[in-house]
Amino acid sequence: MRGLLFEKKNNGEAQVSSLASVVSFTLAFSILCLLTLAAFASLEYHWNWSSVFKYKTKFIEGWLVTVLVSSLSLAFACLIGGLSALAYRSRFLPLRYLFKIYVEITRGTPLLVQMLLIFYVFADAAHIENRYVVGIIILSLFSGAYVSEIFRAGIESVGSSQLLSAKSIGFTPYQTFRYVIFPQALSRSLPALAGQFANLIKDSSLLSIIAISEFTLNAQEVNTSTLSAFESFFPLAIGYLLLTLPIFHLSRRLEKQLTFDS
């Protein structure tokens, strides 16, 4: 019994058998489920799944929009973040400061504020009618600032001995970046980048504020038509977990791979 609940130390090395993992996980999960059930029981809530089930296509459509918007935003965020990380190294100072200001302001203000500002002021001024396009721009700019910091940290993590080596070989600055800095910085950025993608997916829920029919807004609409709040929001939570859990898992695996490689 003890062996199923406690980590074993074998010559100072921690060991957990797969059976112990399963048992302990089931136990922890059951406790959480019981607590939740108890809370709902005291609420005397009357579940009404059938009314919500009718809207299943609305959930699926919303979920797909979330996946699409987040993926496109991540692609653009990588582009912006890459440019920004390069601009940080630029010898042309105004460019460097432009991106510094962008990163600081974006990281220092709430997404909601940026969203309202871009949607009502900048997008309006630029006559961008399609709110999905605006939504992708908002998320890309927001996430780009974080990706920029991830890339910058990756670039700076390439040690001076590598640069010295590249110099002694006779690489030009471009070749040093292309063959030495970039590949190493990229592989070191991947775990954090995967984590950022998971954050981006969750952050995309705020797009419901500007009436983009993504997962959260659709769930809210189902709630309004059926008046079944919990039945609408449970699938929402599960829909997000379906996306974020594998990504976090991937991020952790990449991290392990990285420690193995270096």
Partner 1 sequence: MKIHLDQVTKSYGEHRALDGICLELEDARSLTLIGPSGGGKSTTLRLIAGLEHPNSGYISVNEQLVPREESALRNYRKSIGVVFQSYNLFPHLDAVTNIALPLEKVHDCSKSESIDRANELLKRFKLAAHGNKRPSELSGGQNQRVAIARSLAHDPDLILFDEPTSALDPEMSAEVLDVIEELIQQGKDCVIVTHQMGFAKRASDFVAFISKGKIAESGRCQEIFEQAKTPGLQQFLERELKY
Q: Which residues bind partner 1 (CB under 8 A)?
A: 161-162, 164-165, 167-172, 175, 179-180, 183-184, 187, 260-262
Residue type, 30: S
- Considering beta carbons, is residue 11 or 168 the nearer one to partner 1? 168
* N-to-C CA span, the chain: 39
- Considering beta carbons, is residue 6 or 179 the nearer one to partner 1? 179
The encoded tokens of residue 164 equal: 């010295």
- Considering beta carbons, is residue 164 or 211 the nearer one to partner 1? 164
- Considering beta carbons, is residue 180 or 200 the nearer one to partner 1? 180
Cβ at position 91, least distance to partner 1 in Å: 14
Cβ at position 179, least distance to partner 1 in Å: 6
- Considering beta carbons, is residue 130 or 262 the nearer one to partner 1? 262
Cβ at position 78, least distance to partner 1 in Å: 19
Residue keyed to tokens 């590949």? 183
Cβ at position 153, least distance to partner 1 in Å: 17
Cβ at position 180, least distance to partner 1 in Å: 6
Between CA 83 and CA 96 the distance in angstroms is 11
